[in-house]
Structure 1
Amino acid sequence: MPPNNDRLLVLFLLVGLLGACLWVLLPFASALFWAAVLAFASWPLMRLLTVRLKGRESVAASLLTAGWVILVAVPLLLFGFNLVGYVRELTELINTLRLEGLPPPPDWLAGLPVVGDELVALWRALDQQGLALFATLKPYLGQVGNWLLARSASIGSGMLELVLSLVLVFFFYRDGPRLERFVQSLLERLIGERAEHYRKLVAATVQRVVNGVIGTAAAQGLLALIGFWIAGVPGAMLLGLLTFALSLIPMGPPLAWMPATAWLVWQGDYGYAIFLGIWGMFVISGVDNVLKPYLISRGGNLPLVVVLLGVFGGIYAFGFMGLFLGPTLLAVAYSLLSDWVNEPGPTQGLPEGDRRGRPAEQAERE
């Protein structure tokens, strides 16, 4: 067989082997991705801990993995246990409303200008027609139950992926330097001398996005916890953790503080309800517009709009993983285009006569 055919056959075999490997790893793609994000976000801490432990990488990896278990798994377990209690209370509230109806309308509702009387009339109409309303909604309760069952199954699979991610993050910590050398060699093989530049570009972009997203979510969760505690909302710690989780998606925090505000109105604590509504709108949700752009753009030379478009577009295109994939792809594409535009063309740097395809002496004579 000619040498070219041998090389082509080897290429086909390598492509087939690579496709088979990707097929094997596909069920674990999400867990591998989140383990890589967790390891990447805390890699400076891994380096510091390794130095403090005199190069014992396995011990450092074990300690950091245990830290992630405490920070992530334990709050989720507490959230699950508390969620059961809140579902029970919600069921009791629905049964109470079905049997006893709505409480009398608050006095301040009638005092609202223009719409006060209409709102009081609507309140009383809903109270009188409560039984009919529940009878109307009864056929849909089964569908709601099926939907909740499906969401519970997806939450269960997500928990399993989280556990697998926490297991895999240990190996990312321990074998991180070897993986970094392998990626560096692969990039040098593919794109040559620009490999180091693009490796640093991807690393810096992901690091800034992780800092911006996680840092903003932590700040919003802490501010929400303070607001819930001041307003006297039960389960403030749980709602703070929920706000942290919802902060990872666009427009997520209002899903935590708006129901809490409505609950305060229901309980008649109108002063605290107004406080929590203002705190949620201008402090909890408002910090996202200031802190996230600052953390993402700090220390980088990419336009902020490129990173922000990558965040929102990535979520739309790839789901939650797009939160990190989107800005990374746009950053690499932007850098590639910038390098191509700034690269000298075939006629740049030549004398004027050479640019026109004539000798410089002839151009001078003309």
Structure 2
Amino acid sequence: MMSNDRLLIQILLLSLLGASLWVLAPFVSALFWAAVLAFASWPLMRLLTRWLSGRQTVAAAVLTAGWMLLVAVPLVLLGLNMADHLRDLNALIHDLQDAGLPPAPAWLVEIPLIGDWLRDTWRELDEQGTALFDALRPHLGFLGNWLLGRSAQIAGGMIELALSLVLVFFFYRDGPRLSAFVHSVLERLIGRRADHYLELVAATIQRVVNGVIGTAAAQAALAGIGLAIAGVPGVLPLALLTFVLSLIPMGPPLVWIPATVWLVGQEAYGMAIFLAVWGTFVISGVDNVLKPYLISRGGNLPLVVVLLGVFGGILAFGFMGLFLGPTLLAVAYSLLNDWVGKAEEQKAAETGGPVL
């Protein structure tokens, strides 16, 4: 009878747990990002709490307000910047439809070997401009739908980001209690190895955060260099905006692509080509090299495991996979090492030989 009662209690607890997860499912992503942000900035929270004489709630409110200002202002600037560039792009398309292409730039004709061919191609495009726009018109609807879908996706991401910034206050305020609760649960599940795996997860997330922030700083610096060389105004605000947008997938192109379009509108075609190449292969390309290196630096994981964790995690879980992928592989790698180590210890004990 006691066994049946215990089984019934376990079923009820599992059902309650499943129902709770179902309720929290729409907020999983926002909770995840709030937890990562709170963990990454916890040293700052600890310092601010000390300055405020231990008033943790006030420190949490101040730090949360700071994050809102830090994130909200660049996003507003981005919206204004994108609106201006879209108006410029629309005006440029209408000008091309009405007046055609401007005369071919002198530097284009002076390119060795292919200069004459480029000039003739430019002239043909100018002469066939109307036919070209007529041919492209059926595809503009698909482009509009794609842009609409991306806009809806970005809007959903903004709402999720706003919710994360609200939830991070509670992670700051209740961080120690949450940490103690997680430690108690893991200790109940896996015993004395709970501290080891908590440290492993914390170290992996910290390295990922360092990789993300370090890569964002590098992309911001490279964007500033490219924009300055191309002669785009407002280099410093655009570089800061690149830093913020580097924290999301495909963020930096939201800065250098409108800047390239602006250069085309100013008839600076050479600098537009330079900025497009610089943005594609340098600003955006550094993300694929620097981020895995910084994440793997200082850890015991092999670089190939980190690479698989980063890229496989993104493919499997979206941007959350940037943190989940390496963390899951780190825990799995450690579990396998523990399992192999125990097997070797057991074998050595049976044979009386040393453990290698």
Question: Is the shorter-chain TM-score for this pair beyond 0.5, marking a shared fold?
Answer: yes
1:79 and 1:238 in contact (8 A); partners too = no
Matched with 1:348 is 348
Q: What are the residue-to-residue correspondences of 1:299-314 with 2, within 5 Å? A: 299-314=298-313
User: What corresponds to 1:130 in structure 2?
Assistant: 129
Aligned to 2:213: 214
Q: Is the 8 A contact 2:34 2:164 kept in 1?
A: yes
Residue deviations 1:114-164 (CA, integer Å, cap 9, x gap): 322222222111111111111222233233223322322222221111111
Give the match for residue 50 of structure 1.
49
1:71 is matched by which residue type in structure 2?
L
- Structure 2 partner of 1:363: none
Structure 1 residue 347 displacement after superposition: 3.4
Of the two structures, which has the highest relative contact order with CA contacts closer than 8 Å and spacing of 6 or more? 2
Q: Which moved more, 1:131-140 or 1:321-330?
A: 131-140
| Residue 335 of structure 2: aligned partner | 336
Residues 21-59 of structure 1: CA deviation (Å, up to 9, x unaligned): 011011111111111111111011111221222211111
One-letter amino acid of the counterpart of residue 291, structure 2: K
Runs of 5+ unmatched residues, structure 1: 354-366
Look up the SS of the partner of 1:103 in the other structure: coil
1:313-328 map, 5 Å: 313-328=312-327
User: Which structure is larger by alpha-carbon Rg, 1 or 2?
Assistant: 1
Where in structure 2 are there 5+ consecutive unaligned residues?
none
Change (3 A) 1:305 1:252: farther
> CA 1:196 to 1:156, structure 2 compared with 1: closer, same or farther past 3 Å?
same
Separation in 1 of the partners of 2:110 and 2:86? 34
Distance of 2:270 and 2:136 partners within structure 1? 33
Distance 1:296 1:143, change over 3 A: closer
Q: Which amino acid aligns with 2:329?
A: L
Structure 1 residue identity aligned to 2:199: K
Match of 2:7 in 1: 8
Show the 5 A alignment for 1:83-162: 83-162=82-161
1:24 to 1:286, Cα distance in 2 relative to 1, 3 A = closer
With the length of structure 1 as denominator, give the TM-score of the two structures.
Answer: 0.86
Say if 2:74 is the partner of 1:75. yes
Deviations, residues 162-195 of structure 1 (Å, cap 9, x unaligned): 1111100000000000000000000001111100
- Residues 292/347 of structure 1: CA separation in 2 closer, same or farther (3 Å cut): closer
Describe the SS at the equivalent of 2:224: helix
Question: Does residue 38 of structure 1 match 2:43?
Answer: no
1:178-197 → structure 2 map (5 Å cutoff): 178-197=177-196
What amino acid is aligned across from residue 212 of structure 2 in structure 1?
Answer: V
| Shift in alpha-carbon separation, 1:208–1:244, aligned structure 2, 3 A | same
**Is contact 1:313-1:326 (8 Å) kept?**
yes
Give the conservation status (yes or no) of the 8 Å contact 1:65–1:170.
Answer: yes
Instruction: Report the Cα distance in structure 2 between the residues aligned to 1:345 and 1:85, rounded to whole angstroms.
Output: 67
Q: 1:259-298 residue pairs with structure 2 within 5 A?
A: 260=259, 264=263, 267=266, 269=268, 276=275, 284=283, 288=287, 291-298=290-297
Change (3 A) 1:165 1:289: closer
Secondary structure of 2:347 counterpart: coil
